[in-house]
Amino acid sequence: LLVEGSMNANVTNISGVPSWFLTVLKKIMEQKGVENIHDVWPNLEVFFHGGISMEPYRAQYRRITNAQKMRYMETYNASEGFFAIQTDPESHWLEVIPDGGIFYEFVPLDQIGEDFPDALPSWKVEPGVTYALVITSSNGLWRYVLGDTVTIQQVSPLKFTIAGRTKHFINAFGEELMVYNAERAMAATCAKMGCDVVNYTVAPVYAGDNSRGCHQWLVEFANRPESLDEFAVVLDKNLQSENSDYQAKRSGDIFLGPPIVSEAKSGLFDLWLANTGKLGGQRKVPRLCPDRRFIDPMLELNAV
């Protein structure tokens, strides 16, 4: 319905999650028989995106848009409020909205889960440090833990980048892999291998009696690499470059084994979202999980 209702309209801006909207744009171009969305929407000029990182999808958007016309602006909002927005098209830093009825506090990562953490106000945070975000808002939320982590980039005015989720990370073997590590490594790997991803999720594979633990990546490709084995090798190297803890655990191939890359069939992640009642424009797949509660049901669907 969205494709049919929009492909003949004068669309000037779009807003949504990058992975989901990419599917919409491709279906519209397929219906119209074109390879560039500006051949359908000549006045399209900006994509307001959020929910997940744009990095793994940026190259795909560049290929289907007119770079001279298109701009990308990230937003950071949720049911609990509108928190920050990208104010400079040339910088991915998000500037906090100071007058939106929200008071912000920042909890150091090593104190997440403590009963009385040292929650810092915005004027006491330090650049380069990652914190869990806590809000108190005029709609009645009192010291509410959003579940997001942010890395401070600038103090005045306050700007940060989204690092991930407080629960969406993998530290099964002391590797402390965060979402932003995974996103950057995936983007670099796709650029190196000349491939594109639709979606992915990662979970630990626990050590057995005769095997080391490792990570399993379930990846749906829009344009698959020639070799999944080589893709896994390049991904592993990029992860080590992004995360020193991961690199230390991979050192000497002793404590943590190389990643396993499993290919998802086309449409798997949308099917999983539909089965969980969460398919839609603002829904997203968890990138990292410290256990296998997401990936195992996906693998079962993938085998059907």
pLDDT at 86: 96
Which pLDDT does position 265 carry in this prediction?
97
Read off the pTM: 0.73
- Consecutive sets of 10 residues in the chain, 304 residues long: mean pLDDT of each? 90 91 91 96 95 86 94 92 94 94 93 88 95 93 91 96 84 88 95 95 84 93 96 97 94 89 95 80 79 95 94
Residue 46, pLDDT score: 96
In contact, 163 and 128? CB cutoff 8 Å: no
Q: What is the pLDDT of residue 209?
A: 61
pLDDT on residue 210: 67
Q: What pLDDT sits at residue 51? A: 83
What the chain holds in terms of domains, given with CATH numbers, is 2-75 (no CATH), 94-165 (no CATH), 179-303 (3.30.300)
